[in-house]
Each structure stands twice: as structure tokens, then as C-alpha cells.
Amino acid sequence: MCIFCNIIIGKIPCYKTFEDDDVMAFLDINPVSHGHTLVVPKKHFTNMEDITEEELSKLIKAVKKVAYALKNGLGAAGYNVQLNNDPEAGQEVPHIHFHIIPRRQGDGLKIWKQTQYNKGEIEKVVDKIKGRI
């Protein structure tokens, strides 16, 4: 059983900020900023490909509700919502979860480095993606 499943059933304590029948939100114990919250479905799904559309809808609605509360309750200037999907993308716990990271002016947090496409690359990338949808 994964660590989030153990948190959901109460075997591991957490600092819960929201809960309903389908979703739980709790503070990350290693926050990027104070108030950094994880929002998880109570049913175990590994990643975006694994979760049903119905459960994803419930999850993202909770993300919106919790993000609003974080922004207004903590007086954050904004927030980032992030999903790390699979270990190569930084997913450390194999249970789908969204990070909500409160942002403040001058906090110094850098999200990612941007690059550019070489000539002709962008069209090839579009074709590969469109061919799978």
C-alpha cells in the first residue's frame, strides 16, 4: 500500500486541509513554500493514464476549491498547480496527486527552463501528437 493510501486510511498522520467522500488534501511535509498542499483521490490511481475521467473530474474540482482557499486564506499572490506524471517527470509517490504551491512576490521559485525548437522540429512534434489523439 502506498504512503498516500496509508495517509487516507489514517495509518500515517497528516495535516489535512480538505476532505470529502472522494478526495483529500493535506500539507506537503517538505514544502516548496508554506501552505504547499497535495490533493489526492481517495481511490488509488497511479497516474493520469490510470485515473478514470469521473474520478479526475472530482479531483480537479477539489484542486480548484483548495487553491481558492490557499490563495485567500494565506494571502498568496498566486499559486502553481502541478502534476508530476511518472518518475521521469518527478513523481515520487505512485498515487496521482496535484501540488498546489502558494506563490509570493519575490519568492525566487523557478518552475522550469525553457528551450526552443530547431527549424522544422515543431511540425514533426505536432504530427506525432495529433496522430495519437
Strand, helix or coil at 37? strand
Point out the catalytic residue in the list 36, 95, 97, 99. 97
Asked if 34 is an active-site residue, the reply is: no
Strand, helix or coil at 56? helix
Q: What are the CA-CA distances from residue 36 to residues 21, 104, 121, 133 (Å)?
A: 22, 12, 36, 33
* Residues marked as catalytic: 97
